Amino acid sequence: MKSFWVILFLIAGLLSQDKGSVEVFRIEKEEHIELHARNTNLYPVTIELDADIDKLEPQKKLSLVDFLPANSNRLLVRFTYKDLKEGWNLNTRYRYYMGNIFARHNDSFAYRLPFPIGESYKVDQGFGGTFSHYGDSRHALDFNMPTGTEIYAARSGKVVMMEEKNNRGGGSEDMMPFANFITILHDDGTFADYSHLRHQGVEVRLGQEVRTGQLIGYSGATGYATGPHLHFTVKKAKRGGGFISIPVKFTTKDGIIELKEGQSYIGY
């Protein structure tokens, strides 16, 4: 996810499908100045703020790193006047990006396998897979399954991003922008991505609250994919923008375990 440095007080939103925005504005009062931020996105964002000031005293240390919950308006920092009789100057710089970098994954949560109960699918690429699961994407899973397999929410949350219009896919990296997907925000501030869904293969809507085990879509091979499969990742925002994947465990017939590459698992 891209981040932007901004000098103006009003900026356009991140490239997100809910067409939300992030706006920073100031309120001048008799004894102080307040900088507020408004986030109209369906998801939280992290904001980094700095300022050049003259004859003002910030009540928080700058540079400031904070987060804005979804659909929120909050005070970022207050500046007091050093001398009410003199002029002052305030030039603000900030950037923002999707997700809360202070979020902490609930490691005790056991995820549901994201496919139908009783059906078995193989993990073609697991954590640390050499084809594409490295770096920040290290803890991702690829389930080998035919196009049109029902996909279920592995954990409850809110649908904050989705795409289903694409009908292209292939094994070259230039196919990356054409993946259909669903992104769900969890209650601990992490996200889950369900990717490579088929064309028109989404069964949920933006802003919808979904429960664990609810049908959300159908697998496919859109985007950067050598064949039909489900790419599943749990992730959290990282400082500076982008995400880092998180290792998770699943409830299976053999207990709560970390899935292994090359093994097949039955929906449970």
In CATH, what number is assigned to the domain containing residue 140? 2.70.70.10
Q: Which residue has the higher pLDDT, 199 or 61?
A: 199
| Final residue before a domain boundary, out of 43, 63, 98 | 98
Report the pLDDT value the prediction gives residue 88, as an integer from 0 to 100. Answer: 87
Q: Are residues 179 and 129 in the same domain?
A: yes
pLDDT at 50 over 60: yes
Distance CA 263, CA 176 (A): 26
Q: By the 8 A CB rule, do 163 and 201 touch?
A: no
- DSSP code of 28? E
CATH number at 82 reads 2.60.40.10
pLDDT attached to residue 14: 33
- Edge-to-edge strands, sheet with 45-54: 64-68, 45-54, 89-98
Which pTM does this prediction carry? 0.88
If we measure between CA atoms, which residue out of 32, 30, 48, 29 comes closest to residue 92?
Answer: 48
Q: In whole numbers, what is the pLDDT of the chain averaged over residues?
A: 89
Same domain flag for 201 and 260: yes
Task: Work out the percent of the chain whose per-residue pLDDT is above 90.
Answer: 73
The CA radius of gyration of the chain, in Å to the nearest whole number, is: 22
Are 88 and 119 contained in the same domain?
Answer: no
Render the burial of 34-61: b for 16+ CB within 10 Å, e for the rest.
ebebebbbbbbbbbbbebebeebebeee
CA 15 to chain centre: 12
pLDDT tens sequence across 76-119? 999 998 887 788 888 999 999 999 999 999 999 999 999 999 99
Residue 51 sits in the same domain as residue 120: no
Residue written as tokens 């007080």? 9
For residue 176, give the amino acid letter.
Answer: M
pLDDT at 133: 58
Lookup result for tokens 């992730």: 235
Output 106 or 63, whichever has higher pLDDT: 106
The yes-or-no verdict on residue 162 having pLDDT over 80 is yes
pLDDT of residue 9: 29
Q: Stretch 226-231: mean pLDDT, rounded?
A: 94
- Number of C-alpha atoms within 13 angstroms, CB side, residue 148? 0
Question: Are 135 and 72 members of one domain?
Answer: no
Give the three-class secondary structure for 128.
coil
Whether residue 183 sits in one domain with residue 76: no
The answer as to whether 150 is a domain residue is: yes
119/251 same-domain check: yes
Listed residue (254, 258, 265, 180) closest to 224, CA to CA: 180
**What pLDDT, on the 0 to 100 scale, is given for residue 128?**
67
| Structural domain that includes position 156 | 110-266
* Cα–Cα distance measured from residue 82 to residue 63, given in angstroms and rounded to the nearest whole number: 20
Report strand pairing: 72-81 vs 32-39. antiparallel
215 shares a domain with 129: yes
- Give the residue from 74, 98, 122 where a domain finishes: 98
Whether 91 is covered by a domain: the verdict is yes
Residue 19 pLDDT > 70, yes or no?
no
In this structure, the answer to whether residues 120 and 167 fall within a common structural domain is: yes
Kindly state whether residue 10 falls inside one of the protein's structural domains.
no
Q: Are residues 128 and 203 in the same domain?
A: yes
Both 128 and 35 in one domain: the answer is no
Residue 17 lies in a domain: no
Residue 134 has pLDDT above 90, yes or no: no
| pLDDT tier at 171, thresholds 50, 70, 90 | confident
pLDDT at 4 over 50: no
d(CA 237, CA 173): 23
Among residues 98, 132, 156, the one where a domain terminates is: 98
> What's the pLDDT at 18?
56
Q: Does one domain contain both 123 and 59?
A: no
Number of domains into which the chain is organized: 2
Task: Tell me the CA distances in angstroms from 127 to 61, 124, 142, 193, 243, one per residue in order.
Answer: 39, 10, 9, 15, 16
